[in-house]
Chain A
Amino acid sequence: MDGLSILMAKKMKMIQKHLFTLMLVIAFCNANAQSKSCLFMGAQLHLGNGKTIENGALGIKNGKITLAADANKIRLSKDAYDTIINVQGKHIYPGFISLISELGLKEIDAVRATRDETEVGLLNPHVRALTAYNTDSRIIPTIRSNGILTVQAKPQGTLLTGSSSIFKLTGWNWEDAVLKIDDGIHLNWPESDGIKAKDDTSKGNVKRKKHLALLEEIFTDAKSYAFKNAKTEKNIKLEAMLGLFDGSKILYIEANKARDISESLVFAHQHGIKKCVITGGAEALMVQENIKKYSLGVILSRLHKLPENPDDPVDLPFKTPAILTDNGITVALGYTGEMGAMGSRNLGYLAGTAAAYGLNKDDALKLITSNAALLSGIQDEIGSLETNKKATFFITEGDALDMRTSKVLNAWIDGLEVDLDNPQKQLYHKYSKKYGVNE
């Protein structure tokens, strides 16, 4: 049997268990891959652009979405689609997008040999996640099976940490998997202690001054390099930064303190950076005007955290996306921090939390779909269930933002159905069998 038929056999089994109504049609649809058109009828379509269609019709062909509409309002000729699948009672979501992730770059936190996310050196704009991204990471299938279908792999480090790339969570190798090469450069803004003169001699501030001087230098050099007509000698570092000045690359600035957020954004602006996104943004609430004026938006660090300050309301981190969104700021959510790669399968629940604390569910969904696409420059390709976008989506039993109901039944990336099996499920099957218990 070749790879596809193995996958098919497994799929059949799984479908028998979980999706009786879909069984035949899905098999048919799948076997014909991208070229055949397929229509999903009757599901709640969570478009990811702020709208939900209760009784939806989702059509795909050639890896793209051809239709996303209210089933009650459309008229189709019987043979408009090769396959029509009844998914009544189910939910369809655009694939979740996990930004500023270490997925694919890091396998086991505590084992150094498996870590490829942090390069040495302070100024590494040329260092690329692209070629280190490991499509065979054992973590990837466990993430994918929860509906996270796109990831931005980001190099870590001290200052200018490197260039990220965006991947779909399938592919034989990074070359197959990549959705956008070198989409942006990541900068950790040196953390400030405050503006008081008394601080100037503190260890942290001395180091900070050095780092700021380095940044000043490289961004100034990169800018003049960018506008130089005849480049006699190529500078690999400055070359990597070119896209920042014509808007083809995004500068992601990790800044958490209010002062750092505002300072870094003005820095970028003054150096002619076209597109900036704040990541982290712990104190974003204090500098919303700056964020609005100078950036595309904020990718907040993991919402499931304790309050920043001791007297903050206990749920302030949970409420932050709603407050920022209400103020017109584009917000996305990152699953950052400890165990970020493996934990990102919980990305949907971060959006669920935002929904529990002030956002409506449609807007909460945007945080990990269309907003995430917008803040990573892939909004024309994915992030919502809209025509001409990639057919990257998944079907669930219920509300995907709530772990109680978020079971993923099937998923498609670029119109191809994805194998939702993973090593953890396999162990589950193996040991269920050993003990003779029902799965």
Chain B
Amino acid sequence: MKYIISIILLQLCFNQSNGQRLYPVNGIEDKREAIVALYNANIHVSSTKFISNGILIIEKGRIKNVLPAGSKLEKEWQQINVYGQHIYPAFIDIYSNYGVEQNAATKRRGANLEERPDATANSWNMAIQPEFEAYSTFKSAPSEAENLRKNGFGAVATHRSDGIVRGTGTLVSTADGYENELIIKQEAASYFSFNKGSSLQEYPSSLMGSIALLRQNYLDADWYQKGGKDQYHNYSLEAFNTNKNLPAIIETNNWQNVLRADKIGDEFNQQYIIKTAGDEYLRTDEIKKTNATLIVPVNFPLGWDFSDAYTMDYVPLSALKHWENAPSNAALLAQKGIPFAFTSAGLKDISTFLVAIKKCIDAGLNSKLALKALTEIPAKILNVEKELGTLEQGKLANFFISSDTLFHKETTILETWVQGKRYQTEQAQQTDIRGVYMLSENNQEIGKFEIKGKKYKPEIKFDLNSSKYEPIKGKITATIKTKGNLLNIQVKTEKPGDLGIYNINGIVDTSETRTITGAISTPEGILQNFSAVLISPFNDTLIGDTAISKKFNMDSIQINYPNAAFGFKSLPRADNYLIKNATIWTSETAGIIENGSLYVSNGKIISVGKNEEVKAILPKGISVIEIDATNKHVTAGIIDEHSHIAIESGVNEGTQNNTAEVRIGDVVDCNDPAIYYQLAGGVTTAQLLHGSSNPIGGQSAIIKLKWGETPENMKLKDAPGHIKFALGENVKQSNWGDNKTTRFPQTRMGVEQVYFDAFERAKNYQKTKNLAAEKNSVINFKRDLELEALVEILEGKRFITCHSYVQSEINMLMHVGDSMGFKINTFTHILEGYKVADKMKARGINASSFSDWWAYKFEVNDAIPYNGALLNKVGVNVGFNSDDAEMGRRLNQEAAKAMLYGGVSEEEAWKFVTLNPAKMLHIEQQTGSLKPGKDADIVIWSDNPLSIYAKPEKTFVQGAVYFDLEKDKILQAENKAERNRIIQKMMSEKGNPENLKNPIKRKYLKRHCDDLEIENNEWMDYQY
């Protein structure tokens, strides 16, 4: 459909004062300031106020007045009859890139770029660009503007989507004209994201790095404000502070990031408006708590082509469900009372925007709320309610006229007025020619014809009493074209033998009674003049919103925790359990109890002992779930001291040799299916560690594997702080290829110096910090997140887990610690720990090792599977870890290898994966063994837990069952049925098969220490 062809300039309006010229004019002054009245109008003044048959009056680009039905039309007004049509306030998109040049994505391959390559007095990091002002580069783009207008948009807040701090966006109208007049609000909002964009610098490479950089920037800006500016100039920080008064919009790419963004906002007293990815319906309760207004996209996922049966299983249930439920996102947000605006961002073709909004309404969204999310809410977000959002007196004349109520399925936007300028579509300029006409030739009535059907797609039926028109009598096929008031009808005869084509050309006059005059050419080649007069107008019944579709049942949406395979319908809750007749491995002085019982309540272990002992002290009168564990073994849940599961967008922020400021706790990913895999292997607690690509890595997170919970709820409450250090080949970048030879350090000699340097700086920082804390201190202290973490180490508040292999480097770090006054908590991997076991023992350092890995790189050539046993015998607290999502679910078998290699006793070997790692993590008061008062982190095993034949039958975390072998089978069946239902639905859905994606096989991406990939797990990518 060809669209707008002409622009009718009614006014050269805007807010100029008379006589004041802003531009030189080529020619003479030609200002026209007519008052325009749209009458017979259905005016949707706002999402809640409606005037039927009213008059909308426009003057100088603004709404002069809105008059009710029956009001008088003044002669001096230009009058436009919009009978039957609807006027709505124009849409506002506040997440647009219109007219602002975007930076191309850069590929950062090759050498490290630690410092920014372009010298400016801006931020040290290219991803921080608060000084960028979109208005300064804004350039109207007529064809884009036209596309926006014809889809109802009258104003957009546009910005440059590049970097973490992206600078300010500007609110512009979608009219054509001088940029000077299009800018409605020069600086409308400031924009943020977690994506460093086109920055050439290495840092940050991970999501946690982005978060740390943003947080540090807030701190720096605060310090700058308080006096830092007297010391040096930094335009970025200056702009950052200025922008703080603007609405702050942050872009996120999933609901977890929505929560992360809000958390940063809370820390720095900034309520972000959050641009989402459209999946926030998955956790509306948490989203609601952010108090954030959301900007919600409507680019719903495409379906998959499942014609190849072999590939069906490649697409996860989570993605299938998202395909089905994404259109209900807005409705579910509305149901919770979460305010949101819509954006067209992410749509490949903006002409699908209204269709998508209609989909939202079909999927349960109230149409009034939909309108509000397109008008009033975006206006409110940008504090321009006085200018935009409704059709109230004094506001900008930004509105559009549609053929029907907005969300009617056949509605067309006919014209859009922006800043009082009228932009009509081709259709709008088309005369409605429908009705019954009397046709006359040579002043003689020869019969009737009827034009009916849709206004813009009419049909014709002839009932002419003339023999020459006999072949086209009755229902015939005709092509009807109209252009303005010109009409062309081409009719083909349909009866066999009567071949021939009639062409009817006419011009429509609507000044009084509608008439068409013109000529008909017959198949015989005769040109016959005619005149046709309307004798009966077309009766079009308007259909209201209620006719849109049948009511959508919101209750049909089942959102699971997580909304993926093996997700729960409702979150597991702690209950009272009595596990009896079991062989209980207490990992305490009681040892292994035969015929034992364990009583659990409120998430805690209440009693453990022989059957009769526990029974005797069982509280009376409360309901207890009894589990008969005859022939089964019961242990504490396994603790994986070294895990990289459940981490979103990057395990390593390895771009600097010291990144103590980054926190795994910021990026815990509760959707990782590995959580469920580990539960199925009896793991209940894991330390999620930063990788090992730099000497000082990031801060770790300790999580309980509470599958289905949010990241924050998984994190162990009040867990002591930990941090990752690393030595050897990874931090020297030995195996990273021939390009990576410039970052300091490249040798073990250099590694030592990194620590000396870091802790020297930390000590100085600590001194300054203490001085600043003193009463009457005048020091303008700048909090430094990196050094804060190191000071915490010096103060014994944060524990080091150090990735290490060979004895020389282990010894080195112990000496650095001794001389700088800090303690190493745990050496992890520590495959040559057996060579320095006595030294570790002397310092009380823990060892968290692999059972039997070796030979994968040079530094593990002397690794031996007896390492764990030897360290244990010398008296070091030893554990075995996984560093691997697959091995993590078989840690019980790894523990058994301590028996195989070195003859550690069963009871002691079991502690390698339970109590001993609990001690390393300083959570042994809470978990790691079966002792009254500890968390009920419990596994019921089918066999001796150290045996390869043992399977966890139930895994409890804090008294709630998170894995159950029997329930797992039910979940499998349910998943299968649900998958099949959606796949069948998808396959039977009509639509262009070209729009379907091919299922692609993706592997679960296991993460390891030296994993430099920042991409998310491919299985997750399937969601979007």
Chain A complexes with chain B = yes
Asked if B924 lies at the interface with its beta carbon under 8 angstroms from chain A, I say no
Residues of A contacting B676 with CB < 8 Å?
314
* B 641-655 contacts with A by CB, 8 A: none
Task: Tell me, in angstroms, the Cα distance from A49 to B657 when the chains sit together.
Answer: 56
Q: Which residues of B contact A367 (CB under 8 A)?
A: none
Assembled-state Cα–Cα distance A338/B887 (Å): 13
**Which residues 873-905 of B have a CB within 8 angstroms of A?**
873-874, 885-887, 889-890, 893, 896-897, 899-903
**Interface core residue of A194, A346, A425 (most chain B CB under 10 Å):** A194
Closest to B885 in A: A306
Identity of the chain B residue whose Cβ is nearest the Cβ of A110 in the assembled complex = B857
Interface-located stretch among B48-56, B59-67, B310-318:
B310-318
Q: Is the CB of B948 within 8 A of A401?
A: yes
Known A-B contacts A404-B899, A424-B865, A439-B902; A111 and B857 likewise in contact (beta carbons under 8 Å): yes
Does any Cβ of A come within 8 Å of B934's Cβ?
A: no
Separation of A259 and B975 alpha carbons in the complex (Å) = 24
> Nearest B residue to A339 by beta-carbon distance?
B856
Give bound CA distance, A108 to B864, whole Å.
Answer: 15
B948 engages A404 (CB within 8 Å) = yes
Stretch at the interface among A84-92, A154-162, A429-437: A429-437
A431 touches B835 (CB 8 A): yes
Residue among B676, B874, B948, B972 facing the most chain A CB atoms (10 A cut-off): B948
Residues of A within 8 A of B858 (CB): 108, 110-111
Within 8 A of A (CB), among B845-876: 852-858, 861-862, 864-866, 870, 873-874
Say yes or no: B896 contacts A404, CB within 8 Å.
yes
Query: Does B144 have its Cβ within 8 Å of any Cβ on chain A?
Result: no
Complex interface: stretch among A174-182, A195-203, A236-244, A264-272: A195-203
Q: How large is the interface on A (under 10, 10 to 19, 20 to 34, 35 or more residues)?
A: 35 or more
- Given A194-B311, A305-B886, A313-B972: A109 touches B870 (CB 8 Å cut-off): no
Any B CB within 8 A of the CB of A210: no
CB distance from B154 to the nearest CB of A (A): 39
Which residues 386-409 in B have Cβ within 8 Å of A in the complex? none
- A410 and B946 CA atoms in complex are apart in Å by 24
Scan B822-860; emit 1 where CB is below 8 A from any A CB, else 0: 000000000000110110000000000000111111100
Known contacts A198-B998, A306-B1006, A437-B870; A108 and B855 CB within 8 A of each other: yes
| Cα distance, A380 to B1006, chains bound together (Å) | 41
Do B677 and A306 touch (CB < 8 A)?
yes
Query: How far, in angstroms, from A403 to B909 measured CA to CA in the complex?
Result: 12
Cα-based distance from A22 to B206 in the complex (angstroms):
60
- B310 near A196: Cβ-Cβ < 8 Å: no
Instruction: Tell whether A283 pairs with B856 under 8 Å between CB atoms, given A304-B890, A306-B885, A313-B972.
Output: no
Contact B948 A193 (CB under 8 A): no
A119 interfacial contact with B, CB 8 Å: no
Residue in chain A with minimal CB distance to B971: A313
Give A392 Cβ to nearest chain B Cβ, in Å.
22
Contact B305 A258 (CB under 8 A): no
- Interface contact A403-B855, CB-CB below 8 Å: no
B83 interfacial by beta-carbon distance below 8 Å: no
CA distance A353 to B886 in the complex (A): 14
Nearest Cβ on chain A to B806's Cβ, whole angstroms = 13
Do B896 and A432 touch (CB < 8 A)? Answer: no
Question: Per-residue 0/1 for A161-175: is the Cβ within 8 Å of any B Cβ (1 yes, 0 no)?
Answer: 000000000000000
Q: B residues within 8 A CB of A312?
A: 313
In the complex, are the beta carbons of B313 and A309 less than 8 A apart?
Answer: yes
Partner of B968, one of A314, A352, A355: A314
B856 touches A194 (CB 8 A): no
A193-B998, A196-B998, A306-B677 known; A311-B947 Cβ under 8 A: no
Query: Cα distance A366–B1022 when bound, in Å?
Result: 39
Q: How far is the CB of A403 from chain B (nearest CB, A)?
A: 4
Interchain CB contact (< 8 A) of A353 among B314, B856, B948 = B948
- Residue interface mask A309-320, B partner, CB < 8 A = 1: 111111100000
Docked-complex contact A435 and B896, CB < 8 angstroms: no
Q: Which residues of B (897-929) have their CB < 8 Å from a CB of A?
A: 897, 899-903, 906
Q: A349-B948, A406-B900, A435-B870 are in contact. Are A107 and B1019 (CB under 8 A)?
A: no
Q: Does B565 contact A (CB under 8 A)?
A: yes
Residues 395-438 of chain A, each 1 if its beta carbon lies under 8 Å from chain B, else 0: 00000011110110000000000000000110110011001011
State whether the Cβ of A139 lies closer than 8 Å to any Cβ in chain B. Answer: yes
B261-319 at interface with A (beta carbon < 8 Å): 305, 307-308, 310-311, 313-314, 316-318
* Chain A residue contacts of B803, Cβ below 8 A: none
Q: Mark A243-261, 1 if CB is under 8 A from B, else 0.
A: 0000000000000011100
| B855 A342 Cβ-Cβ under 8 A | yes
Which one, A111, A198, A258, A435, contacts B310 given CB within 8 A?
A258
- Closest Cβ–Cβ distance, residue B966 to chain A (whole Å): 13
Q: Would B834 and A404 count as touching, CB distance under 8 A?
A: no
Of A195, A310, A401, A425, the contact of B308 (CB 8 Å cutoff)? A195
Whether the Cβ atoms of B857 and A404 lie closer than 8 Å is: no
A137 to chain B, nearest CB (A): 9
Q: In the complex, are the beta carbons of A435 and B998 less than 8 A apart?
A: no
Q: Specify which chain A residues have a CB less than 8 angstroms from the CB of B130 in the assembled complex.
A: none
Given contacts A304-B887, A404-B948, contact A314 B316 (CB under 8 A): no
B949 near A428: Cβ-Cβ < 8 Å: no
A-B pairs with CB below 8 Å: how many? 164
A46 at the interface (CB under 8 A from B): no
Residue in A closest to B680 when the chains form the complex, CB atoms: A314
Inter-chain contacts of B1000 with A (CB < 8 A)? 193
B900, A407: Cβ atoms closer than 8 Å: yes
- Given A257-B1001, A313-B972, A424-B866, verify A342-B873 contact (CB < 8 Å): no
- In the assembled complex, the CB of B1007 is this many whole angstroms from the nearest CB of chain A, namely 12
* Residues of chain B with a CB closer than 8 A to A194's CB: 308, 310-311, 998-999
Query: A286: CB under 8 A from chain B?
Result: yes
Chain A residues lying within 8 Å of B314, measured Cβ to Cβ, are 309
What is the CB-to-nearest-CB distance from A422 to chain B, in angstroms, rounded to a whole number?
9
Measured CA separation A196–B305 after assembly (Å):
9
Inter-subunit contact B310/A257 (CB<8 Å): yes
Contact status of A339 and B855, CB under 8 A, knowing A353-B948, A403-B896: yes
Q: Inside 8 A of B855's CB, which chain A residues have their CB?
A: 107-109, 138-139, 339, 341-342
Residues facing B in A186-229 (CB within 8 A) are 193-196, 198-199
A199 contact set on B, CB distance < 8 A: 998
* Alpha-carbon gap, A314 to B994, bound state (A): 34
Q: Is A275 an interface residue (CB 8 A)?
A: no
Task: For B998, list chain A residues within 8 Å (CB).
Answer: 193-194, 196, 198-199
By a CB distance below 8 angstroms, the chain B residues around A355 are 948-949
B1004 touches A (CB below 8 Å): yes
Interfacial chain B residues near A390, Cβ < 8 Å: none
A306 touches B886 (CB 8 A): yes
In the complex, B103 has a CB within 8 A of chain A: no
Q: Using A310-B1019, A314-B676 as known contacts, say yes or no to A109 and B857 having CB atoms under 8 A apart.
A: yes
Q: In whole angstroms, how far apart are the Cα atoms of A338 and B889 in the complex? A: 17
Q: How far is B949's CA from A401's CA once the two chains are assembled, in angstroms?
A: 9
Q: Is B811 an interface residue (CB 8 A)?
A: no
Q: Name the 8 nearest CB pairs between A and B, nearest first.
A: A110-B857, A310-B316, A352-B948, A311-B565, A428-B866, A342-B855, A437-B873, A424-B864
The 16 sampled A-B contact pairs (Cβ below 8 Å) are: A108-B855, A109-B856, A194-B311, A194-B999, A304-B886, A311-B316, A311-B565, A339-B855, A341-B855, A349-B893, A356-B948, A356-B949, A402-B896, A402-B947, A425-B866, A435-B873
Interface residues of B (CB under 8 A from A): 305, 307-308, 310-311, 313-314, 316-318, 564-566, 673-674, 676-677, 680, 729, 734-735, 834-835, 837-838, 852-858, 861-862, 864-866, 870, 873-874, 885-887, 889-890, 893, 896-897, 899-903, 906, 944, 946-951, 968, 972, 975-976, 979, 994, 998-1001, 1004, 1006, 1019, 1022
Residues of A within 8 A of B (CB): 107-111, 138-139, 193-196, 198-199, 257-259, 283, 286, 304-315, 338-339, 341-343, 345-346, 349, 352-353, 355-356, 401-404, 406-407, 424-425, 427-428, 431-432, 435, 437-439
